[in-house]
Structure 1
C-alpha cells in the first residue's frame, strides 16, 4: 500500500471538547496527514510533512477541511427504507412502520440489499463507522457485517432481541436470543473491524427472563458492547412502569438483569431521573444523543450540558430511520438547535468532537477511530466548506475557521463531503 500525504486544513482534538473546546482543539490552516498501511502515522504542518515524507503520494485538498471520519453511535440499518415516514410518535412508529419493515429482513438477500444501501449512503455523507441494531434474524447481522467488511469499515452491530409486545414474525425466545447472540458474537466480534453488541431492543419488548439471559451472556463476554434504548418518550416510560412495577425507574429494568455496565450504550436518555444519572455516571456508561429523531418523533430535549457536566460518555447519532437524515452534519445542526432551546448551544468545535471523538469514546474506541492522530485508523472525511452557493457566500465572510465551518454544519449535506478514506483506502473519488 502506497504511503499517502493528504494536504489541506486539518481539524483534530487532544482532549474533551465538551469540557474545554479551546484547549482540546487543534486546527492547522495548512496542515497534513500521512497515511501508511491503513493507519495515520503523522500529522502536522503540510510543508514539514511533505519534506519528511518525500516518498508519499500527495493529494492536495487546498482549503478543504480534513477531519476524522464521522462516527454514528446509534442507528437502525433495517429502517433505511422507511426513513422520513410521516406523523407518528414512538409506539405508533414501531407498530406502523418499523415492525412491518423489519419483518422483511427475514429474507437475507433483502437484508444484504438494505445493508449495502445504508453503508453506501453513510460513506456518501462522510460517516465511516456506524453502530446499528439489526433485526431478530441472524442473517440480518451477517448481512451487516459482511457489507461493512467488503468496504473495509469499522462497524458495530447485533441481533435485536424481542420476545413480547411485537408481531409474531419479530419475536424470538429467551433461549434463541441467548443462543443466536452468542453464536453471532463468536462469529463476528473482533473479526476484521467488526464489533458485536448484545442488543435487547428495549425493556417493553423483552420479558424479564430474556433480559436476564442477555445479562448472563454479557457477564460471560464483558468485552463486547451492549446497546439498547432508555427514556426516549414519556408514554414509553409510563409503559415501562406498568410492565415492571417492582423497578425503581427505567434504568433499573436493565440494571436488575445485569444490563448496566461500562460498555453499555443507552440511546436517547432524554427523561432521566436523578438516580439514573448517578448510576450511569458511576459505572461509566455511555448515552447517545439522537437529535433529529428526538425532534422528528416528538421525544424531547436531551440535556447535553447537564450530562456532560456529570462526566458521562456521550455519543451522537442519526438514529435512522426514526432520525430523519443520514447526515452527521444535519445531526450536528439538530444538536445545536436543541442546545439553543435548552439555553446551552454547542460551539462548532464541540459539535465536530461529538460526531468523531465523542462517539468513538462512547463505543470504547477512542484513539482507534474518529481521531485525526497518530495510531488511529485512517478513516478520514474531507469537507468542502463552500459546497453550495448559500454556504459559500456565508463562508466568504468568515473571520476564523469556526465561522467558515459553521455554515457547513448548519446547511451542509452530502455535497459538502469532498472525499472519504476508509482504512487508508480512498472510498469516494
Structure 2
C-alpha cells in the first residue's frame, strides 16, 4: 500500500514532541479513499434540511396551533361557529412568517487524496518505539483557520484549541495544517533537478512547445526527475542570490487549495449552453452573476530569488558546511520565514529537506488576534427609534406659540380704500 517513507522532521511541543514522516500511497488506495470520501459527501448532502422547507413547516405548525387554540376557546364558550367565518368573534390567524431569503455561502470543497495539499500522507508519533497515527487530509476550512491563529503545540493529538477565531478541529488537524503550510513554503531543490519535460531534461526547445496548451489548461502541477541533470557547483549553490534553488511544492492559495475553485456554477456542457442561448428579453430580465477573480500563485519550480523579503531581511540564507575541505562540503539553506526549515545538498545529486522547529511562522511584530466583528444593528438609526428627553412645560408652550397659525396679510387695495374713507370723513368734519 505504501511506497517509501521519508522523515519529514520534528515539531516540538510543550509536553512531548511530534516525529513526522511522509509517504505516497498507491493509486488503488487513493481511488478507494476518494470513493469513500464522495460517499460521505453524498450522505451529508442528503441529511441537509432545506431552509425553505423548514420555514414552510414552521408556518404550518404555527397555523395549526392557532386554530387549535381558537377551537378550544369555542368549545369552552359553547359556540358552534366555524373557524374563520365572517361572524366569528375571535381574531383570524396571524399571517405566515416571512421566508428566510438568506443564502449561506458555498463551502469550498477539499481537494481529493493524492492531489494538491493532500498529495502526501503524513504519520506522526510522540514515541519512536510506539505506534504511529495517520493525520487526516487537509480541507480549505482548516487551512484558513490555521492562518488566523498563532498557537504552540502541546504534544497531545486530542488537545482542544481554545482560540479566536474558533478552530474547527483539535491539535491533530492543526498539526496537519502546519505541516502542509511548511511543506508548501520550504520544500526546495537545486535548479534543474526537476523538469516538466516528458522525455528530455533541461531547458530545451522541446519544453517550450506546449506553452499554448499550458496557457489553456492552466499552470503545470506535475514534474519529474530530470534524467540529464547536471549537478550545480558548490559556488553556485551557496550564492546569496538564491537563483540556483527552486520551489518544487505547489503554493497554497488564500482559498485553502492549490487549485482555484469558482463558487459560481458553470454549465456542464458549454457548447450546448451556447446553442440554446435564451432570447435577449430573458437575458435582460435575469441579473448576471459576476464571478470572483481567480486566485493565482507562483508556479512550480520558481527560483527562491523571487521570494519576498521580511522587513529588509532575506527570506533565505545559505552557507557552506566547510571552507577548508571544499570538495567534501555541503550547501545548507535555511528559511527565515519558517524558522527550523533546512535543506542540504551535496555536490552530487543528493539533497534533502527537513524541519526541526516549533511549527510557527515568523512574525515581525507580536501576534495580535483578529478583532471581534462589529455589532450588527437591528434598525437603522433615526429619530423614530432614538431615545429623547421629554420637553418641559415652558418648552411645550414656546413650541405651541411658535406653531400658531399666522394672520393673513391685508391686501394693499383695501388699505387704499380705508385711507380714502378716512380722508372723506375728515373733509366732512371740516
TM-score (norm 2): 0.20
Greater Cα radius of gyration, structure 1 or 2? 2
Name which structure has the greater RCO, CA cutoff 8 Å, separation 6+.
Answer: 1
- The structure with more strand, counted as a fraction of residues: 1
TM-score (norm 1): 0.20
- The structure with more helix, counted as a fraction of residues: 1
